[in-house]
Structure 1
Amino acid sequence: MTTPFALEPHQRQWCAELRALAAEQLRPLASEGTPGRVNRPLVAALGDLGLLARVFPAEGPVRAMDLCLLRESLAAECTEAETALALQGLGAYPVALSGTAEQRARLLPEVVAGRAVAAFALSEPDAGSDAAALSLRADADGPGRWRLTGEKCWISNAPEADFCTVFARTTAGAGARGVTAFAVPADRPGLTGAPLDMLSPHPIGTLVFDGVPVTGDDLLGEADGGFRVAMRTLNLFRPSVGAFAVGMAQAALDAAVRHAGERQAFGGPLKDLQAVSHQLAEMATRTEAARLLVYAAAATYDASASGAGAGAAGVASSSAMAKLLATETAQYVVDAAVQLHGARALRRGHLLEHLYREVRAPRIYEGASEVQRTIIAKELYRGRAGASDGAASQEGENR
């Protein structure tokens, strides 16, 4: 389902084309891949079909709405293709955001073509949700030179990525203000890693840095300014994580509606049972509510980026709300669809068995649901403080 209230006709047409493309050309490549490993033929196809170019458009930064529609449409037909595209975007967007002209010219064309695989290396064994608590050290090794020492964990596309956007601590005890971003090629001496066997079939692993050398040529943005690079990247991608979840919810809902119309039980189709029809209605309503909130968050981001929006505070809050509601909704819808299908949905290889394993991770990735609630609550009180200050100022002027 797409919503005329939120989308223009050309956007609805594009979504339909994307779903057809994913089903006909990307799904066969996905099925040939190894779960938990980078599927390079699939990444290359995303480049050949021009889909990665939509994430890194030549005319400027990607619109959040385009990214959301792209991820939602792919997820509805092929979650592996959606994930491969999203991880390329997440890993390389800091280069587009803060890289030098030389860095962008060297790295982004390879990413867009699907020839180079990127990774976003923020999380650590003891610094997941608390991203400002990073301990991977970037020790000074002369003017404009550092050595990276420590470990990253839960890193998408690790250890197979061709380069990683790495966030390391350059100033001890400075919290978020002491983190620096680097673009680190995978062949640097001292950099190793290993894949992790996860519930969801995503390529995720660890990275170990044993005095890995980096220089000013690898620096993304300013020294000690890396945390802002990370947060700006996540603010863009959080609504689109919600779009990924909406796509999965829609796939599960479509499967449940088909099954309820075809499955005969108790003298008729399942859909004629009030308990089933009401369940489907609830699933559809929650999915549509999540979709609209995702679109609203994307519109807020785009308006802010163009200078016409509510600013960073509005982006942070709306992005967090979209990711929270959409991922929690997708979990509910997929679980309900499994229940309606019964034991057949538990068989390995069934669409809903696949979605059931896929849908759990987004409630944790890129900020767990609890982190999103914390962001939303802080913005609520920030808004109250701003309103109070404004009221006090106005009262003073009236006097």
Structure 2
Amino acid sequence: MPNYFSDNTDILYHFEKLNLKDIVNIAEDEYKQAEQFDDAPVNYEDAMENYRKVMEIVGDITGNYIAPRAAKIDEEGAVFENGKVTYAKGTQEALEMLSKAELMGMILPRRFGGLNFPTTIYMMAVELISRAEASLMNIFGLQDIAKTIDKFATEEQREFYLPGFSSGLYTGAMALTEPDAGSDLQAVKLTAYQDENGNWFLRGVKRFITNGNGDVLLVLARTEAGTKDARGLSMLSCMKDDSIIVRRIEHKLGIHGSPTCELQFNDTPAELIGTRRFGLLKYVIYLMNRARVGIGAQSLGISQQAYEEALKYAKAREQFGKPIYNFPVVANMLIDMRVTLESNRTLFYNTCTWLDRKEAYEDLIEKRKSEKLPFNDVNEKFKEAQRMTNFLTPTTKYILSEASNKMTYDSIQIHGGTGYMREFAVERLARDARITNIYEGTSQLQIVAAAGSVINDVLADYINDWEKKEYKGSLKKLKESLMEIRVLFNDALKYVKEKKDTGFQDVAAKDLVELYSYIYTGYLLLDEANDDQRRVFTAKRFILDSLARSRKNAESIKNELYSDILHADTILI
């Protein structure tokens, strides 16, 4: 019987090498929670053992219960009838199973029925869920809505909403986008107004809302009359009721089990979350950082299953008297897929750890402030984690979602004509993957989000330290390749800065971000290879391939490839 956690050697490798000591120590109040809750760990080793046991449960449920239902969920999809949205039967069964296993509040505090796990462990669970059935992640992964309420709401609001999330009674939705406000959220028009008693109500339309039929909605709304920018937007919460009309659900290419709704709010009772005017400037940014890693996990899960399907088929399919696995061109494709999986997973869990650090240090600062204790030392750690998170979350979302599309494409190619048929899982995986580089910010917007960090060379100190480090044997040559990529990056960056052309900088940003990501991921892999011989193969192929790609990236910037953009109106006829 498959277990998507314990059967996956790469996930196990990353689980074993996680360093979450500071994060867990802060989350567990220096393990004082063990005095109040029987399931709280007494030390770090106990915490990691708890995480392992839960991940084994997730691995069992995903491999043996959810995955067998995936094809039927895709075929049946969510149904909209008589104004009501109904999940596919398999989705309902999966959510019920996850609720019984007490997994719907993984990142919520114990006092509200949650498990109080770090985001990194939660994201491992999201990866496994996504591998089993990608659209289910869009419901299971909305625990971030509850996390946002926990972070910014009042204690009374937490007590009202969070136990329902933890038990599985509630699912949620982020109601952000509108017909004329997709990526440009500062254009949101849905209004929130108060009556004479100070009660809030919502009026307007939201579109493309994942799980818009959820029980608890976080709504970005314009609370300040007459404003047209981000400063007039606030975050409000509301419960599903008759004043919220689901006008339609979208008929999508993929992720059929996840309903995408158009919602009409008709004077819907709501509550303000946090402070007015900070809806987009603070709360949505918090949500989006978490959403980016969520889509990264989804992309990784889809990629894993695409690889598994391709490998299985290549070993079983015979042509010219032997399995196609034995043809070098096919074996090379499979190795590329495997290296992409492992390098992306290395980048991903590094990103998750930085996000956990950022949030843990932020919580510790707030605690010390409330206790009137010094916090300068923690503040420096927080600033570092924030800088890293600002670069890594958009970069990781970009790289992993694009890779997911490429890996499902290659998996179909290895299957040949059969992969194009509904009977084979890769057809569904390719459709599910296609949304990953679109929602929660397109790849182009992720580049924009990461570009500032890249242009300011925020990783310079880390890279300098890596360049001073001694590596074993053949790894020295790989280090030289990474140093060469850095030279190419620095030359390209200098060229872009000296042009002093913001339009050119915007177009060159994609190549700069990719160059920077090669260096960072390459050194992460080099460190792994220095400690584990098995990782040398992944590091070597990734770094040498990145060197070849980096030359193209640099040339694209410096040979005026993009100069024809000035003549777009002439070319685009």
TM-score of the alignment, normalized to the shorter chain, above 0.5:
yes
Q: 1:192 offset after TM fit, Å?
A: 4.3
Q: How many residues in Structure 1 have an aligned counterpart in Structure 2?
A: 381
**1:339 matches 2:347:** no
Mapped pair 1:268 → 2:304: no
Mark the CA change 1:69 to 1:361 in structure 2 (over 3 Å): closer, same or farther. same
CA drift of 1:32 comes to 5.8
- Provide Cα deviations, 1:40-67, integer angstroms capped at 9, x if missing partner: 3432222111211213242786522112
Match of 1:366 in 2: 440
Q: Contact 2:187 / 2:228 at 8 angstroms: preserved in 1?
A: no
Q: Would you say the 8 A contact 1:253–1:283 is kept in 2? A: yes
Q: What is the percent sequence identity of the aligned residues?
A: 24
Q: Which moved more, 1:316-325 or 1:146-155?
A: 146-155
> Does the 8 Å CA contact 1:26/1:45 hold for their aligned counterparts?
no
Structure 1 alignment gaps of length 5 or more:
388-399
User: Which residue of 2 is the match for residue 296 of structure 1?
Assistant: 350
- Cα distance in 2 between the residues matched to 1:274 and 1:170: 61
Correspondence for 1:223? 276
Specify which of 66, 87, 105 is matched with residue 53 of structure 1.
105
Name the larger-Rg structure: 2
Name the CA shift for 1:194/1:140 in 2 (closer, same or farther; >3 Å): same
Tell me, what secondary structure is at the counterpart of 2:417? helix
Aligned residue for 1:132?
A: 186
CA contact (8 A) 1:44 1:115 kept: no
* CA drift at 1:130: 1.7
Contact 2:150-2:162 at 8 Å conserved across structures: yes
Contact kept in structure 1, 2:186 and 2:228, CA below 8 Å: no
Cross-structure match for 1:147? 201
Counterparts of 1:17 and 1:162, CA distance in 2: 26
Q: Following TM superposition, by how much is the alpha carbon of 1:153 offset from its aligned partner in structure 2, in angstroms?
A: 0.7
1:46-195 aligned within 5 A: 46-58=98-110, 62-87=117-142, 89-142=143-196, 144-158=198-212, 160-171=213-224, 172-173=226-227, 175-187=229-241, 189=243, 191-195=245-249
Shift of 1:306: 2.4
Report the counterpart of residue 6 of structure 1 in structure 2.
14
What is the CA–CA distance in structure 1 between the aligned matches of 2:172 and 2:60, rounded to whole Å? 26
1:254 and 1:94, CA in 2 relative to 1: closer, same or farther beyond 3 A?
Answer: same
Q: Which amino acid aligns with 2:63?
A: A
Shift of 1:113: 1.6
- Residue by residue over 1:18-39, the C-alpha shift from the partner in whole angstroms, topping out at 9 and shown as x without a partner, is 2322122234565665413534
Q: Give 1:21's aligned residue.
A: 61
Q: Within 2, Cα distance between the matches of 1:12 and 1:371?
A: 35
TM-score by length of 2: 0.62
Residue 151 and residue 362 in structure 1: after superposition, are their counterparts in 2 closer, same or farther (change >3 A)? Answer: same
One-letter code aligned to 1:180:
S
Find the aligned partners of 2:122 and 2:141 in 1 and give their Cα distance. 9
Q: Deviations over 1:142-188 (max 9, x none)?
A: 35234322211110112x22221111011243522221111111115
Look up the match of 1:391: none
Q: What CA distance in whole angstroms lies between the structure 2 residues aligned with 1:256 and 1:15?
A: 25
Partner of 1:240: 294
Amino acid across the alignment from 1:204:
T
- Equivalent position of 2:37 in the other structure: none
**Aligned-partner Cα distance in 1 for 2:394–2:52:** 25
Q: More relative contact order in 1 or in 2 (CA 8 Å, sep 6+)? A: 1
Residue identity opposite 1:46 in structure 2:
L
- Give the whole-Å Cα distance in 1 for the aligned partners of 2:331 and 2:68: 33
- Three-state SS of the structure 1 residue aligned to 2:394 is helix
* Deviating more after overlay: 36-45 vs 175-184: 36-45
Distance in 2 of aligned mates of 1:176 and 1:315: 22
Aligned counterparts of 1:154 and 1:298: Cα–Cα separation in 2: 27
Q: Deviations over 1:212-239 (max 9, x none)?
A: 343xxx1111111212111112212312
Runs of 4+ in 1 over 6 A off after TM superposition: none
Q: 1:207 aligns with which of 263, 266, 278?
A: 263
Taking structure 1 as the reference length, the TM-score comes to 0.87
Task: Give 1:382 shift.
Answer: 4.9
Change in Cα spacing, 1:139 to 1:381, as seen in structure 2 (3 Å) is: farther
Give the letter for the 2:451 counterpart.
A
Paired with 1:273 and 1:104, the residues of 2 have a C-alpha distance of 58
Q: 1:219 to 1:382 in 2, by over 3 A?
A: farther
- Give the distance between the partners of 1:52 and 1:19, measured in 2 at CA: 15
Q: Secondary structure at the match of 1:52?
A: coil
What amino acid maps onto 2:310 in structure 1?
A
CA distance in 2, matches of 1:330, 1:297: 17
Instruction: Determine if contact 1:94/1:220 at 8 Å carries over to the other structure.
Output: no
In structure 1, what is the Cα distance between the partners aligned to 2:187 and 2:69? 39
State the 1:117 CA deviation.
2.1
1:105 CA displacement: 1.6
